[in-house]
Structure 1
């Protein structure tokens, strides 16, 4: 990816792997159009996070990359959707990093991956 798109650490796991939420064709930052089915910000803890883990993730993201990448768009999830900013985080936290991304590149809304994709016949 070119250097006009914002690079991203993956704050959700603390790994140092660089994931990019920039769309190289549109030169915008990918942001989910809505919360995914198992968003960590939905009531009821659908991801079964340990007590205090969500707060830890928000604290790390707020001081590091400035956002959380949606877990359903991470490479390990096998999603057809490339890494994108978590809509739940973006709706709740207006970090300076997200504000800069919006001003410099803007956002392109991408649909969250289908949690129950229908298998294609072979």
Structure 2
């Protein structure tokens, strides 16, 4: 099944705060092997996002980096693993950036952190 593509001509976000999802030793892009326990794409809104926030995040990702960094791998989440591409996003959206990453470097799949190893953000 083909994943949807991001809509064209979305405004770009500030790139100054970008996190790297590249593994400097393996020269591949880190991608979660499965959705984390509180993935923003799971039914029931486990991260308690405000109405419309998920759509806003997807729109921003499609107009910027081409992916969303998993919230459970962000440095301020206390993650024991470095930033990685959100599996929920990667499974649902086929952006040109993710396609390039796959073709040029490939992905290294990493297990998401255990739910109790990170703090929950709202």
TM-score by length of 1: 0.82
Aligned twin of 2:6: none
Relative contact order (C-alpha < 8 Å, sep 6+): which is higher?
Answer: 2
Distance 1:105 1:78, change over 3 A: same
Aligned twin of 2:88: 88
Note the C-alpha offset of 1:15: 7.7
Aligned twin of 1:30: 30
Query: What 5-or-longer segments of structure 1 have no aligned partner?
Result: 1-13, 118-122
- Please identify runs of 4+ aligned residues in structure 1 that moved more than 4 A: none
CA RMSD of aligned residues (A): 1.5
Structure 2: how far apart are the matches of 1:47 and 1:15?
A: 24
More strand by share: 1
Aligned twin of 1:19: 19
17-26 vs 68-77, which moves further? 17-26
Task: Look up the SS of the partner of 1:108 in the other structure.
Answer: strand
The alignment of Structure 1 onto Structure 2 pairs a total of residues equal to: 105
